[in-house]
Amino acid sequence: PAVTRAVSDARLTCPELLHISALLRAVDRLRQHLPQDAPPLRVLEQLISQMEPATGLASRIDEAIAGEDALHDQASPQLMSLRRRIRMAQNEVKESLDRIVRSHARALQEQLVTLRGDRYVVPVKATNRGEIPGLVHDTSSSGATLFVEPLPVVALNNKIRELMGLEREEIDRILLALSG
């Protein structure tokens, strides 16, 4: 079914491409065990001998796909660059938030940086809300803690989201190319 979908220009998923790669490698191994100088006698030998080896495609799939839901950074130069830029932007946000955590320790419920909805935030005591200007993304169940995205990191968090969108587009492009 995956091959039929691929023929109609569909983008296959990582698991589908991994299954195709495994099938291609299995066919290649079976073909290596067929007698080279004699015509195939059994039905299975005849079917296997008719299959075209596609080891290049299997290799490209294996080089690009890291697992059921992930591509290797090296799947394309663009993907590698985007992921490096995402890591750099995430480090920038964390460093900026670490400075805020150190300088506003008494306003925080805990001295840590956390994620809320893909945004880096700090847990601020509700009673000290005014000490750290920013966007509130969540509150604790007790209401004693607000998860605030300080204004200095809003632009950096936006940059990360943009880069992640570009990363998703590049992943789709790679999967579509492999599917083709």
Task: Write down the mean pLDDT value for the chain.
Answer: 90
Q: Flag whether pLDDT at 174 surpasses 90.
A: yes
Helix residue ranges per DSSP H, 51-150:
55-64, 77-103
Q: Flag whether pLDDT at 172 surpasses 80.
A: yes
Mean pLDDT, range 155-161, rounded to an integer:
94
Q: Flag whether pLDDT at 34 surpasses 80.
A: no
Give the confidence band of 11 by pLDDT, cuts at 50, 70, 90.
Answer: very high
Any idea which of 105-109, 120-124, 148-152, 164-168 has the lowest mean pLDDT?
105-109
Q: Flag whether pLDDT at 124 surpasses 90.
A: yes
% of the chain exceeding 90 in pLDDT: 61
Cα 96-102-103 angle, rounded to 5 deg: 90
How many CA atoms does the CB half-sphere of 135 hold within 13 Å? 13
Give the confidence band of 38 by pLDDT, cuts at 50, 70, 90.
Answer: low
CA distance 119 to 141: 19
Predicted local distance difference test score (pLDDT) of residue 167:
97
pTM comes to 0.81
CA distance 134 to 123: 12
Mean pLDDT, range 84-113, rounded to an integer:
91
Predicted local distance difference test score (pLDDT) of residue 33:
77
Q: Flag whether pLDDT at 40 surpasses 70.
A: no
CA distance 127 to 157: 25
